[in-house]
Copies of this chain bind each other. A is one copy, B any other.
């Protein structure tokens, strides 16, 4: 399946402002970038680096005035998101080294505080994929998904207290619950085709049965159309943009995902 994605951001900037952006999807096991575009107005020098999670990050200094960022991509993804009911829990001693850090608590996923709750939610489930499915279902049924309701990430504890959140927040709680039972889990930020309302999206992945699987409590069921921009431990690692210094005003944000028949 081929998709055309785009993200247009516009800012009002007061003083020269350093930005770190994460807006360039990478080709990887699950997707292939066939075309890509990254335009800045006004044009300023940019440098790019790879962070510890393998994401491409763009650094620049936005000049005072109107500043806009346009990115677009043509991406091929596989025809369906894989599910694997019954996929077994991987013993900690058998996890690949690079997966271990996704067992640790992080800024917005206080997994050290959720063991009892996770045990209750997953009672009676087969260890592994089915536990994560139970968590995803529980989130879907119990935590109210309120897209656009918040600009600041809420941590798993906060989400659990207020019983509602945006996609990012639900993911935080899902991740914290998984990690509390020694299931590695990570945050994913990206695009989702036919997301309503259209926006940047966040979901989570859990490592069971020897690989990462996609989970998303904000949708009625797991469907296709996930395009990854970045991975991290939680929202702190995968901000689409971080700016430093005096706050800038974001004046518009437009996200598009279209299905295309084949590579144009």
Give the docked Cα–Cα distance between A34 and B71 (Å).
9
Q: Given the complex, which residues of B lie within 8 Å of A46, measured CB to CB? A: 27, 32
**From residue 14 to 28 of chain A, which have CB atoms closer than 8 A to chain B?**
18, 20, 26-28
Contact yes or no, B104 A236, CB < 8 A: yes
Q: Given the complex, which residues of B lie within 8 Å of A92, measured CB to CB? A: 18, 244-245
- Shortest distance in angstroms between A221's beta carbon and chain B's nearest beta carbon? 26
Q: Given the complex, which residues of B lie within 8 Å of A110, measured CB to CB? A: 107
Contact yes or no, A43 B106, CB < 8 A: no
Q: Given the complex, which residues of B lie within 8 Å of A109, measured CB to CB? A: 107
Q: Given the complex, which residues of B lie within 8 Å of A236, measured CB to CB? A: 104-106
The interface on chain A, measured as residues whose beta carbon lies within 8 A of the other chain's beta carbons, has a size of 52
Instruction: Tell me, yes or no, whether A254 is within 8 Å of chain B by CB.
Output: no
Give the docked Cα–Cα distance between A146 and B45 (Å).
37
Give the docked Cα–Cα distance between A237 and B97 (Å).
14
Q: Given the complex, which residues of B lie within 8 Å of A196, measured CB to CB? A: none
| The one of B20, B47, B91, B106 that contacts A28, using a Cβ cutoff of 8 Å | B47
Contact yes or no, A182 B244, CB < 8 A: yes
**Could you write out 23 A-B pairs with CB less than 8 Å apart?**
A18-B92, A26-B48, A27-B48, A32-B48, A33-B36, A33-B38, A34-B39, A35-B36, A35-B38, A35-B39, A36-B36, A43-B262, A49-B97, A51-B101, A59-B93, A59-B97, A92-B245, A101-B237, A104-B236, A106-B107, A107-B107, A112-B152, A182-B244
